[in-house]
Amino acid sequence: MNLAGYVKCLQQHALNKKISDEEFLNAVLKPYIVAGEIDNKKKEELRFDKSRTSLILNRHEDVPGALRKALNAIKIYPWTEDNFMEFINDYMAPKEIPMVVNEITEMIEADNVIIDKEFLISKKSIPNVFLADTLIECIKLKNDGFDPKVEILRNGSYCVKVVYNDILRYAFRKRSKMKNIVVIPVDTEFHTHVTRKYEKRELSEVSAMSIHGQFLTRWEKSGESIDLLPSRIEKSLKATADHDGKYQLGTIATVENESTVFYLMAISDFDENNNAHSSKEDIIHCVDELSIFYDKYGDGFDLYIPLMGTGKSRAAVSLQESYDILVDCFKRNKARIQGNIHIVIHKDFEKHVTTEKGGN
């Protein structure tokens, strides 16, 4: 259960099916915002713009702190419940209210985080009270894509979790209090040229479809210099490459922007035709090297790791095998979990990977 899922459920039954996400989110939150007397910096009633709406509904941002502070308001429950009737009358299709209540009830029943489910569900006979109280419950819960139900294992205060998202969502953030570490699988020569379809090149280098290629494209679009990137990588490595200009598999170069430390990790070799090659054994070795490197240099920053070896590296590793390799590595080396580690599975692949829960 989370704010994004709650709002999307209501929106499916909206009176106006063409209403914008921005207008609908603000309408849903208004009863609570009015009840909590929540203002912005200009002392105006808090309202979310299109960009902030997108971040919240796509679970790229947690519930804003201003909303959570209002949870302490003395009359936040009764006032939100009263105000919510106006929202229902103005924005919800009357015939679909029972369907909304049933769907929200199912979401509550399936959630393992909500403590007092029975008390919340007992209010379903009064829709405005039930939906208002469920909204307040969602504001208490995490919304930023981290599912506390999918915790794989733990070492003291740190743990390994699964999150379903695009790995680069955690890389190019405009605002951050603490840097993330994001792993980017690359080749042993640390190529920095993305080959485009329109280029007439005999041999390709980095595929634009790979995580490596997407990283390079986003790196340049963010204002960073692609031309200076090779020298930054070389400076980071501070090591001598093989005679043919290649580094060992598992070698990690670090480069940074304002919000992220990138671990560029060599997981594949290019052959004479510039096709990348790797193996399952190579991926296992690389992940082990990553765990050692993070333990030594991670400084407690959150680490985000994509599934590796499933695509352009030609390691012939399935999505499930890649996930299992990551989990097995940290199970064997729990002492190396010196920060929160997030295994990032692209949301399009969620149904293809069976994750484990509740590890120690």
Contact predicate 229/210, CB 8 Å: no
**Tokens 């990790």 — which residue?**
265
Q: How far apart are CA 205 and CA 195, in angstroms?
A: 6
Q: So what's the pLDDT on residue 358?
A: 47
For the chain, 360 residues long, give each residue's pLDDT as a single digit of tens.
Answer: 899 999 999 999 999 989 999 999 999 999 999 999 998 777 888 999 999 999 899 888 889 889 999 998 889 999 999 999 999 999 999 999 999 999 999 989 877 677 678 889 999 999 999 999 999 999 998 887 644 447 888 888 888 999 888 899 888 876 566 789 999 999 999 999 887 765 565 555 788 888 999 999 999 998 899 999 999 999 999 866 665 678 999 999 999 998 899 999 999 987 666 666 789 999 999 999 999 999 999 998 999 999 998 876 567 788 999 999 999 999 999 999 989 999 999 877 877 788 765 455
Output 105-109 pairs: Cβ under 8 A, ≥24 positions apart. Answer: 107/1, 107/5, 107/6, 107/9, 108/1, 108/134
Q: Give the model's pLDDT for residue 145.
A: 61
pLDDT recorded at residue 303: 96
Ordered by start, the domain boundaries in the chain are 3-140, 146-352
> Residue 351 has what pLDDT?
72
What's the pTM? 0.60
- Give the integer Cα–Cα distance in Å for 17 and 6: 16
DSSP annotation string for 240-272: PPPTTS-PPTT-EEEEE-SSEEEEEEEEEEE-T
Write out the H or E segment, with its range, that includes residue 180. Answer: strand 180-187
The CATH number for 146-352, chosen from 3.10.450.630, 3.40.1710.10, 3.40.220.10, 3.40.50.300, is: 3.40.220.10
With 0-12 / 13-18 / 19 or more C-beta atoms within 10 angstroms meaning exposed / middle / buried, residue 74 is exposed
Scan for tokens 């209501």, then name that residue: 10
Residue 60 structure tokens:
């790229």
DSSP-based three-state secondary structure for 221: helix
CA separation for the pair 164, 58 (Å, rounded): 11
- The pLDDT, as a whole number, for residue 272 is 65
Structure token digits, residue 158: 């740190």
CA-to-CA distance for 130 and 125, rounded, in angstroms?
8
Spatial separation of the C-alpha atoms in residues 319 and 353, rounded to whole Å: 6
Q: Report which residue type is found at 217.
A: T
| Integer CA distances (angstroms), 31 to 43, 69, 76, 88, 208, in order | 17, 15, 10, 10, 46
